[in-house]
């Protein structure tokens, strides 16, 4: 049996109900935790807290966010995988859920087999930016410079395996060019180097960056959305910039439970999440964070996760990305 078939079989098994819940035990019986693998204040954390506030009201129990940082969310992911599968401990997953399993030989979890998908929550598109002093006026300018001078064009990121790193690696792969990755400890120092012109460009989450563009500190080159973004008038999508299909790699945030969490619990959670995300005020708050609301069924989220593994494995292998 192939790795994907084994993973899918385990994934389907994860939705099977446990006997106690089949007999009608109440849920939730106590506060629910959403574990976030990144520091407080970041986009994943803020989105989790918006959702938790709604879920507390909908479920009738406190829903709290717990930050367990370390190793690009590996610490949090492994911890939730080992939790009791009763629906009281959940994981807010990002693309690191798939990427860590591909990149890290010591990752002690299966991204499909060890979790029960509950729902996608949102997608986090990126905007490609460069310093105002650089000669780049478009994404094609970046690619042409990389093609003319292999290795001289650089891109910043918050670290190996993150969304900014992989998005730029994808651009290099699609354009068949060689660019130099410059990792930093966080998006902020990376962006500062891009603004200074010492780093050529980077892909950045659409959170709190439009003001810098408006002040002329940065120049937006493209957005990774399917349609032009209202916050970035006149900025083309990556498809319009010559790279169709790039938007399919937009990071998805979702809620996962440990494998074998009872199906009735998963269904209750899914309904609660969809109720939250259908509220206009919640959608508006997430849009203000640069996120696109994207609720799904558990089955749709399972399909997304399987596709995410395939997508990022191809990029990582083609770009020869390692953890070093």
CATH code for the domain in which residue 25 is found: 3.40.190.150
Instruction: Specify whether 44 is located in the same domain as 96.
Output: yes
**Cβ contacts of residue 57 below 8 Å, gap of 6+?**
none
Note whether 142 and 104 are same-domain residues. no
* pLDDT confidence of residue 162: 87
Each residue's pLDDT expressed in tens, for the chain with a length of 324 residues: 444 544 554 445 444 444 344 444 589 999 999 999 988 888 899 999 999 999 999 999 999 999 999 888 999 999 999 999 999 999 999 999 999 999 998 899 999 999 999 999 999 999 999 999 999 999 999 999 999 999 999 999 988 888 899 999 999 999 999 999 999 888 889 999 999 999 999 999 887 788 899 999 999 999 999 999 988 999 999 999 999 989 989 999 999 999 999 999 999 999 999 999 999 999 999 988 889 999 999 999 999 999 999 999 999 998 888 876
Residues 233, 298, single domain; the answer is: no
DSSP output for 42-98: SHHHHHHHHHHHHHHHHHSS-EEEEE---TTTHHHHHHHHTS-SSSSEEEEE-THHH
Residues 119, 267, single domain; the answer is yes
Look at residue 324 and tell me if it is in a domain: no
Domain boundary pick from 215, 248, 281: 248
* Of 228, 248, 268, the domain-final residue: 248
Q: How far apart are CA 188 and CA 158, in angstroms?
A: 8
Would residue 199 count as lying in a domain?
yes
293 forms beta bridges with: 122
Asked whether residue 130 falls in the same domain as residue 223, the answer is yes
Surface-to-core class of residue 68, CB atoms within 10 Å of its CB (0-12 exposed, 13-18 middle, 19+ buried): middle
Question: Are 110 and 60 in the same domain?
Answer: yes
104 assigned to some structural domain = yes
Torsions phi, psi for 252 (to 5 deg): -110, 130
Provide the residue count of the chain: 324
> Residue 61 and residue 69: Cα distance in Å, rounded?
25
Q: Packing angle between helix 298-319 and helix 263-277, nearest 10 degrees?
A: 80
Whether residue 8 is contained in a domain is answered as yes
Whether 131 and 73 share a structural domain = no
225 falls within a domain:
yes
How many domains would you assign to the chain?
Answer: 2
Q: Is residue 147 part of a domain?
A: yes
In a domain, 21, yes or no: yes
209 and 178 together in one domain: yes
Residue range of the domain that includes 203: 126-248
pLDDT of residue 2: 47
CATH code at 135?
Answer: 3.40.190.10
Alpha-carbon distance of 172 to 79, in angstroms, equals 34
Determine the pLDDT at residue 324. Answer: 63
Please check whether residues 119 and 17 belong to one and the same domain: yes
Contact yes or no for 99/54 (Cβ under 8 A) = no
Q: Which residues of 200-223 are buried (b: 16+ CB within 10 A; e: fewer)?
A: bbbbbbbbebbebbeeebbbbbbb
pLDDT of residue 261: 97
pTM: 0.86
Question: 210 and 268 share a domain?
Answer: no
Are 150 and 214 contained in the same domain? yes
pLDDT confidence of residue 25: 59
Residue 212 in domain: yes
Helix (H, G, I), strand (E, B) or coil at 117: strand
Rounded distance between C-alpha atoms, residue 122 and residue 280, angstroms = 14
257 and 119 share one domain: yes
């Amino acid at each position: 049996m192939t790795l994907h078939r084994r993973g899918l079989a385990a994934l389907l098994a994860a939705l099977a109900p446990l006997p106690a819940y089949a007999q009608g035990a109440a849920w939730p019986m106590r506060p629910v935790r959403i574990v976030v693998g990144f520091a407080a204040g970041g986009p994943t954390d803020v989105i989790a807290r918006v959702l938790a506030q709604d879920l507390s009201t909908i479920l009738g129990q406190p829903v709290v966010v717990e930050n367990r940082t370390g190793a690009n969310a590996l610490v949090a992911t492994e911890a939730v995988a080992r939790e009791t599968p009763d629906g009281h401990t959940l994981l807010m997953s990002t693309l690191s859920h798939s990427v860590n399993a591909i990149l890290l030989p010591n990752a002690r979890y299966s991204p499909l087999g060890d979790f029960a998908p509950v729902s996608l929550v949102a997608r986090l598109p990126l905007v490609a930016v460069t310093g105002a002093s650089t000669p780049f006026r478009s994404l094609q300018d970046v690619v042409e410079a990389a093609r003319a001078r292999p290795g001289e064009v650089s891109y910043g990121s918050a670290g190996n395996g993150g969304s900014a790193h992989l998005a730029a690696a994808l651009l290099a792969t699609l354009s068949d060019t060689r660019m130099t990755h410059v990792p930093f400890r966080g998006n902020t120092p990376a962006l500062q180097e891009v603004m200074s012109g010492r780093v050529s460009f980077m892909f950045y989450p659409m959170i709190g960056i439009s003001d810098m563009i408006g002040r002329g500190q940065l120049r937006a080159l493209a957005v990774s959305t399917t349609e032009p973004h209202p916050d970035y008038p006149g900025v083309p999508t990556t498809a319009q910039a010559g790279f169709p299909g790039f938007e399919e790699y937009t990071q998805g945030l979702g809620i996962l439970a440990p494998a074998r969490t009872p199906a009735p619990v998963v269904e209750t959670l899914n309904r609660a999440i969809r109720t939250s995300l259908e509220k206009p005020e919640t959608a508006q708050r997430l849009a203000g964070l640069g996120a696109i609301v994207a609720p799904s069924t558990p089955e749709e989220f399972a399909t997304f996760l399987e596709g995410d593994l395939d997508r990022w494995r191809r990029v990582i292998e083609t770009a020869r990305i390692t953890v070093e």
